[in-house]
Amino acid sequence: MPEKINLSFDEMWEKVLACDRAYDGVFFTAVKTTKIYCRPSCRSRKPKKINVAFYQDIQEVENAGYRACKRCRPDTTHSPDLGVVNSVITFLINHYKQPFILQDIADHVGISSFYLERLFKRETAETPRSYLEKIRVDKASHYLRNSLKTNLEICYETGFQSPSNFYRVFRRLKNCTPSEYRHLLNEDRP
């Protein structure tokens, strides 16, 4: 059984709408009406939100009577390396508020930090640190969209050590500042 992931339903739904590959393997989207399950990144037409259930464990979703989507193939063989990578991603999602220490993650999954970094890079083309930054920015975006927290509050609640670091990383991943991001969203709303 994988470590339980600390993401709300709405956050998972946001990843699905964004077809975000970064969360593939970490959870599955099951559609109650079609009885099919997908990866978050699946490009098939999006189901209605009310028809969706999320599962973390592939065995559990199959036991519940769902069949794997033919398009995104969420059931394709998991290499043991991918299993480790998914554990690392889940760990990062669940501990995003803490300072990044590679050794802690390595201890958690039971391999050396050197090997972890190499393996992670090979499977995701990113380092655990850059992945964590993406997870933190995703959290921050969620707060900017759905809360009245200030930029400074969001900065510290999402694990950034300083506002300058928060602004730099946010801009690199979203091509705008947190304030611009919030402003753009509000303009979109009726």
> What's the min distance (Å) between Cβ of 93 and Zn ion?
21
> What's the min distance (Å) between Cβ of 188 and Zn ion?
27
Based on the shown chain and the rule CB under 5 A, indicate whether residue 69 belongs to the binding site for Zn ion. yes
> What's the min distance (Å) between Cβ of 131 and Zn ion?
23
Q: Which region among 1-9, 67-75, 87-95, 114-122 touches Zn ion (by CB under 5 A)?
A: 67-75
Interface residue with Zn ion, options 7, 16, 72, 154 (CB under 5 A) = 72
d(CA 41, CA 18): 7
Look at residues 167, 103, 163, 100 and name the one whose alpha carbon lies nearest to residue 132.
100
Q: Binders of Zn ion among 19-48, rule CB under 5 A? A: 38, 42, 44
Q: Which region among 10-18, 54-62, 66-74, 133-141 touches Zn ion (by CB under 5 A)?
A: 66-74
> What's the min distance (Å) between Cβ of 16 and Zn ion?
10
Based on the shown chain and the rule CB under 5 A, indicate whether residue 172 belongs to the binding site for Zn ion. no
Look at residues 83, 104, 77 and name the one whose alpha carbon lies nearest to residue 92.
104
* DSSP letters for 142-182: HHHHH----HHHHHHHTT-SSHHHHHHHHHHHHSS-HHHHH
Six token digits for residue 47? 């189901």
How far is the CA of 107 from the CAs of 70, 84, 117, in angstroms? 36, 12, 13
Residues binding Zn ion (CB under 5 A): 38, 42, 44, 69, 71-72
